[in-house]
Structure 1
Amino acid sequence: MRQPVLYISILLTALLSACSESFTDPRDGQSYDIVQIGSRTWMAENLNYEIEGSACPDGDKRNCSKYGRLYTWDMARTVCPEGWHLPDSADFEQLISAAGGTEVAGNALKSTSGWFKKGNGSDDFGFNALPAGYRLAGNNATDGKFDGIGGYAHFWSASETPDGLAYYLLLDFSTKAAKISAFGKDEARSVRCVK
C-alpha cells in the first residue's frame, strides 16, 4: 500500500514545481510566464525584448510574439531584465538534471506542440521550450540566413569555451535528449533568463 502513497507524493511534487506565475518586464511591459524548476526560477517563454540587431525568427515580425527574439551572444549577455541573468553552463546542467538527465530532459522541457515530425515534448515542468531556430552569422549583426524554426531550440549560455565559442542548451525535434553544445558568438539564438 505504500507505493500508491509514494506515487501520489511524487505527482504532487511535480505538479507544484510546475505551477506557473508571471513576471512583467518594466522596460517594455511584456509579461512572461515563469516557473520554478529545481532551485532556480526560469522564464517559461523566450525573451522578446527588442534591442538593435536582435531579430524575429525566420525574419518575420509575427514570429516574435510566439518565439521571442534571437540575439547574438554579446546581446544576450546584457538583455535580461534587472534581477534576472543569462544562465551559465552550471544553470543549464542543473536544469537538465532536474528534468530527468541528459537522455530525457529535452522531451520534458519541450512544448507539447509546435515541433515538426512528431518532435513535440511532454513539457513536464512548464518550461515550454519552443523551436525558434537560429540565425547564422552574416557580414554584420543584422544579416545572416535563418534556419531551424520548428526543429530546434537553442538557448544562449553566459559561459565561454577555451577556444572562444559560447555554450548553449540545444533541444532537437529528433531526440528526447538535451545537451549543451557550443557555437560562434555571432550567430543569433534564443534567450531564457533565470534567477
Structure 2
Amino acid sequence: MKKLFIISILFFFTGIITFAQQDTMFIHQPGGIVLKVAINDIDSIVFYSSGIPGNTVTDIDGNVYNIVQIGNQEWFGQNLKVTHFNDGSEIAIETGNDNWSNLSTPAYCWYNNDLANKNPYGALYNWFTLNEAGNGGKNVCPEGWHVPSDDEWETLVTYLGGQYEAGGKLKETGTVHWNSPNTGATNESGFTALPGGYRAGTDGAFVAMNEKAYWWSDTENYSSSGWYRNINNNSAQVYRHHLGKDFGYSVRCLKDEE
C-alpha cells in the first residue's frame, strides 16, 4: 500500500530532500539521514506549516495567538479568549443559566463558569457579541482581524478536501483533550482544533467538552439564528448548521484581506 507523507515545516527544521537514482527518497537533517523511502511506495508528499514562524498576534487583553496559514487564509491558531472588544469596552460575562438563555446582547462565559478552562479552550461567545452590525460596530478580534463569514469557513473546508475529511485535518491529534477515538485526526493544517464544547441557548447548560468543537461565523441565517461549524471526536467530518444566536460557541479570528 502506498503511503502519504506529511512533512511539518518548522522554523528550526532545515531538512533537505534528495532523490537517488530516482528510485529512493532521502530526507536529511544536520547530522545525517532521518528517512529513506522507496519512491514506488509513496503516493504523495504534503508540506504544511504548523504556524508562521515568529508570527503572533496579541488581543487587547494581552492574550497571544499563533498565526496559521492555510491556503491563502491566515487564522488564529487558538480559540479566542478576549473579554473586551478591540476598542477596550467590556464584553459582559454571564454565569447564570436563565440569564444566558434570555440574552439578546453581547456576552461570554468560560465553560462550566470555570476560568481554568480559558486555557486551552478559550471563551464561549453568543452570536450577538460578534455581530458588528448589531453591536455598534464593535469587533472582538484584534485590529486587522475579523470573525469569519460562512463563506470564509467554506473556503477553509474546501481547501482541506471538503466536509468529509477536513475535520480530521483541523483536529489536534491524540486524546489529551479529545475523547477517544478522535477519528481521522492529523492536524495537518496546523489549526489544532480543541473540543471546547458549547453553552446551550435553550437553558444555559454546558455541553460536550472533550467531545465537540463549535465555531461561530458572523453570517446570519434567520433573524434568530447564525451559521456555525462543528467537528466531533468520532468523525473526520466538518458539519455546517445554524442555531439560535443565544448559544455560546468558540471563535477563531481570520486576517482581513489586504
- TM-score, scaled relative to structure 2: 0.67
Cα distance in 1 for partners of 2:231, 2:92 equals 27
- Provide the residue aligned with 1:136 in structure 2: 200
1:61 lines up with 2:115 in the alignment: yes
- Provide the residue aligned with 1:122 in structure 2: 186
Deviates more, 1:73-82 or 1:164-173: 73-82
Distance 1:150 1:92, change over 3 A: same
Which of residues 37, 42, 59 in structure 1 aligns to 2:75? 42
Deviates more, 1:183-192 or 1:162-171: 162-171
Cα distance in 2 for partners of 1:130, 1:64 equals 12
Cα distance in 2 for partners of 1:82, 1:125 equals 24
Q: Deviations over 1:137-176 (max 9, x none)?
A: 257xxxx110010111100001111453100111111211
Q: Deviations over 1:34-74 (max 9, x none)?
A: 10001110001000001322111222110111100000001
1:20 lines up with 2:52 in the alignment: yes
Q: How many residues are aligned here?
A: 187
Could you tell me which runs of 5 or more consecutive residues in structure 2 were left unpaired when the two chains were aligned. Answer: 1-21, 24-37, 84-90, 94-107, 132-138
Shift of 1:25: 1.9
Runs of 4+ in 1 over 3 A off after TM superposition: 1-5, 7-10, 18-22
- Provide the residue aligned with 2:159 in structure 1: 98
Secondary structure of the 1:20 match is: coil
Cα distance in 2 for partners of 1:19, 1:145 equals 34
Secondary structure of the 1:137 match is: coil
Contact 2:51 2:77 in 1 (8 A): no
Shift of 1:8: 9.8
Deviates more, 1:75-84 or 1:20-29: 20-29
**Greater RCO, CA 8 A, separation 6+:** 1
1:86 lines up with 2:126 in the alignment: no
Secondary structure of the 2:112 match is: helix
Amino acid at match of 1:174: N
Distance 1:15 1:4, change over 3 A: farther
Cα distance in 1 for partners of 2:113, 2:148 equals 25
Shift of 1:190: 0.1
Shift of 1:26: 4.6
Which of residues 76, 80, 89 in structure 1 aligns to 2:130? 76
Q: Which has the higher strand share?
A: 2
Could you tell me which runs of 5 or more consecutive residues in structure 1 were left unpaired when the two chains were aligned. Answer: none
Q: Which has the higher helix share?
A: 1
Aligned-pair RMSD on alpha carbons?
A: 2.3
- Provide the residue aligned with 2:224 in structure 1: 164
Cα distance in 2 for partners of 1:80, 1:26 equals 7
Distance 1:138 1:8, change over 3 A: closer
- TM-score, scaled relative to structure 1: 0.87
Distance 1:26 1:72, change over 3 A: closer
- Provide the residue aligned with 1:189 in structure 2: 249
Higher-Rg structure is 2
- Provide the residue aligned with 2:172 in structure 1: 111
Shift of 1:185: 0.3
Shift of 1:20: 3.5
Contact 1:20 1:126 in 2 (8 A): no
Amino acid at match of 2:130: A
